[in-house]
Amino acid sequence: MSKNLKDLYINFFLSKEHKKLESASVIPENDPTCLFNTAGMQPLIPYLMGEVHPLGTRLTNYQKCFRLTDLDSVGDKTHHTFFEMLGNWSLGDYFKKESITWSFEFLTKVLNIPVEKLAVTVFKGNDVVPADNESAEIWMSLGIPKERISFLGEEDNWWGAGETGPCGSDTEIFYFRSDEEAPLKHDPEDERWVEIWNNVFMQYDRQADGSIISLSKKNVDTGMGVERVTAILENVDDNYKTSIWKDIIEKIEEISNKSYENEDDAKCMRIIADHIRAIVIISADDANIVPSNTDQGYILRRLIRRMIRYAKKLEIDVNSDFDLEIAKMIISKYEKYYPEVERNKTRILEVLETEKNKFSKTLEKGLKEFVKITEILKKQNINSINGKTAFRLYDTFGFPIELTVELASEQNMNVDVNGFNTCYKEHQDKSRAGSSQKFKGGMADHSEMNVKYHTTTHLLHQALKDVLGPDVNQKGSNITPERLRFDFSYPTKMTDEQKKKVEDIVNQKISEELDVICEEMSVEQAKEQGAVGLFTNKYGDIVKVYSIGNYSKEICGGPHVNNTKELGTFKIKKEEAVGAGVRRIKATIEI
């Protein structure tokens, strides 16, 4: 049904004159404040802020999203690390009336959800923005009774992706998930009402000081989670019992010879299924993410390790190909929707296998460490492993606390599990703080320096092709106001001479005071003109092409400076490897 839901949704909005966007990369482009896209609107921020989108003013898609702040909730029936968000957008085109009417039509006419099962919430207003009576009126005109409309405050009916940037009041749609008849009056506290769709009326831009100003256009941003709505349509209260997951869970039951009916085992099965799907999607992405100790690579590593730990818990032979088997099932489910999954099949399986082998070695090292620790303790007549040590085994060697307890009991020793939990919690708080740092802040930073670095990145890309050869391609880009970071495909370390040549070319082009020109054209035309395309699967029919004099031509959303004379002196600060065949340059421009 999940397949169906995505197709039904996209087709419905195509029939309302929307254009379909391909899902963007899992990594937000040019946005260092965020590790992964967390909502369908995120790649569209520049357009919500007023940029013209090459596909027009009505867009729809399903977007690859991750929400990782709740990693520990994964394992219950409803949480996932990776999920797909369906969305439709109006960029200054239609507003509340059409948005609400179409949502209602899709739910009741296409998905055939009875209106008796629906309730909605709207914004009750605050000192700055009045109550959204308009949305309430529209809902009533469609047949939602007054009692089923709740007016709520900012915590419920206001949405923005970050602390600054595009935001607005929203109207949320709820479905009554129960065999009982839905009460006439909507009670927001009653958990049987489950949110299924969020329509945000993005007409404001939140400033760093907390105030809001009006955007140049009134936009609509909606989001609907595929797994949740699929569960509703298939009438189950456990996402993992839907057609999205059923065969995967059955496969894990078969491999482990355990039953999903046992809640402890079910939890492990959900984690294994969820994490392998996330691993497949992350490693398939054209951003070329590989396991590492930082940023997205670290998340990938954690997911693989966590998945293996839970497989061990289910007594699965982790040296077998169980994970590859499951990954292959997931690939075959998703390749139709994400061409990169199809294209990068081999890489996905390699990433999984290599990291698993590495982790097995770490576990072995951990066992040696464990023996060393217990010998020392025994000599001192201590028969308890303290919380800190247990946590070190967990953190450095990936030892789940259960494993430490089990191994200790074989040596007639105890483990201070409470002490372990305290250390664990402290660590978790720290890493949460770390990740919320990543999530807060301006989403699309169009500060002057960012724009400058963005243009410099184009010059660098072309200069690298000139010096290292035409096969050099962008693998990722990350810009802060302090520097640019550019990942590209190239097998070996650059020599000092090559780096110098690249620097000289970029500086030469800057000094030539080249105009930066933006043109819109078809993808075909762009290709004919030799424009460099970065992530080919994400373009619509019409694209923007930025030319820098006659030197560089790239398909890109912008924004850019008008002339290279606005840039400063370009300097490569660092060149290093970030994965097999991928190099990274960090560089600055100094004024």
Least distance in Å: CB of 257 to ligand SER?
40
Given a contact cutoff of 8 angstroms between Cβ atoms, the answer to whether 457 and 586 are in contact is no
CA–CA distances in Å: residue 13 to residues 41, 184, 363: 16, 31, 50
Task: Please return the burial class of 257, using the count of CB atoms within 10 Å of its CB with bins 0-12, 13-18 and 19+.
Answer: exposed
Task: Return the number of the residue (159 or 535) whose C-beta is nearest ligand SER.
Answer: 159
Looking at 382-534, which runs of residues are DSSP E strands? 384-385, 414-415, 474-480, 483-489, 516-522
Task: Return the number of the residue (159 or 176) whose C-beta is nearest ligand SER.
Answer: 159
- The count of chain residues that interact with ligand SER, using the rule CB under 6 A, is 10
Task: Return the number of the residue (157 or 222) whose C-beta is nearest ligand SER.
Answer: 222
- φ, ψ of residue 523 to 5 degrees: the values are -60, -40
Least distance in Å: CB of 40 to ligand SER?
5
From the list 47, 106, 123, 159, which residue makes contact with ligand SER (rule: CB under 6 A)? 159
Give the list of residues 6+ apart from residue 461 with CB closer than 8 angstroms, or none: 472, 474, 486, 488, 532, 552, 554
The 3-state secondary structure of 107-162 reads HHHHCCCCHHHEEEEEECCCCCCCCCHHHHHHHHHHCCCHHHEEEECHHHHEEECC
Least distance in Å: CB of 269 to ligand SER?
28
From the list 32, 40, 54, 75, which residue makes contact with ligand SER (rule: CB under 6 A)? 40
Given a contact cutoff of 8 angstroms between Cβ atoms, the answer to whether 555 and 543 are in contact is yes
- φ, ψ of residue 168 to 5 degrees: the values are 175, 175
Asked whether position 314 contacts ligand SER by CB under 6 A, the answer is: no
For the record, the structure tokens of 490 come out as: 């190239």
CA–CA distances in Å: residue 543 to residues 19, 21, 484, 529, 556: 13, 12, 24, 13, 8
Give the list of residues 6+ apart from residue 59 with CB closer than 8 angstroms, or none: 18, 19, 20, 21, 44, 53, 88, 89, 91
Least distance in Å: CB of 39 to ligand SER?
4
Task: Return the number of the residue (82 or 399) whose C-beta is nearest ligand SER.
Answer: 82
> Which parts of 192-251 interact with ligand SER (CB under 6 A)?
198, 200, 221-223
Asked whether position 21 contacts ligand SER by CB under 6 A, the answer is: no
State the residue number with the nearest CB to ligand SER: 223
The kind and range of the H/E element at 408 are helix 401-410
Given a contact cutoff of 8 angstroms between Cβ atoms, the answer to whether 171 and 120 are in contact is yes
Task: Return the number of the residue (60 or 283) whose C-beta is nearest ligand SER.
Answer: 60
Task: Return the number of the residue (173 or 352) whose C-beta is nearest ligand SER.
Answer: 173
Going by C-alpha positions, the residue among 97, 154, 151, 153 that lies closest to residue 119 is 151
Going by C-alpha positions, the residue among 335, 225, 353 that lies closest to residue 281 is 335
From the list 32, 87, 92, 168, which residue makes contact with ligand SER (rule: CB under 6 A)? 87
Least distance in Å: CB of 85 to ligand SER?
6
Task: Return the number of the residue (25 or 474) whose C-beta is nearest ligand SER.
Answer: 25
Least distance in Å: CB of 37 to ligand SER?
10
Question: Quick one: which segment of 36-44, 380-388, 532-540, 559-567 binds ligand SER (CB under 6 A)?
Answer: 36-44
Task: Return the number of the residue (281 or 330) whose C-beta is nearest ligand SER.
Answer: 281
For the record, the structure tokens of 415 come out as: 């483990």
Asked whether position 41 contacts ligand SER by CB under 6 A, the answer is: yes
Task: Return the number of the residue (159 or 397) whose C-beta is nearest ligand SER.
Answer: 159
> Which parts of 431-460 interact with ligand SER (CB under 6 A)?
none
Least distance in Å: CB of 87 to ligand SER?
5
Asked whether position 28 contacts ligand SER by CB under 6 A, the answer is: no
Task: Return the number of the residue (164 or 198) whose C-beta is nearest ligand SER.
Answer: 198
Give the list of residues 6+ apart from residue 415 with CB closer than 8 angstroms, or none: 384, 385, 390, 401, 404, 405, 408
Least distance in Å: CB of 590 to ligand SER?
38
Question: Quick one: which segment of 14-22, 35-43, 181-189, 351-359 binds ligand SER (CB under 6 A)?
Answer: 35-43
Binding site for ligand SER (CB under 6 A): 39-41, 87, 159, 198, 200, 221-223
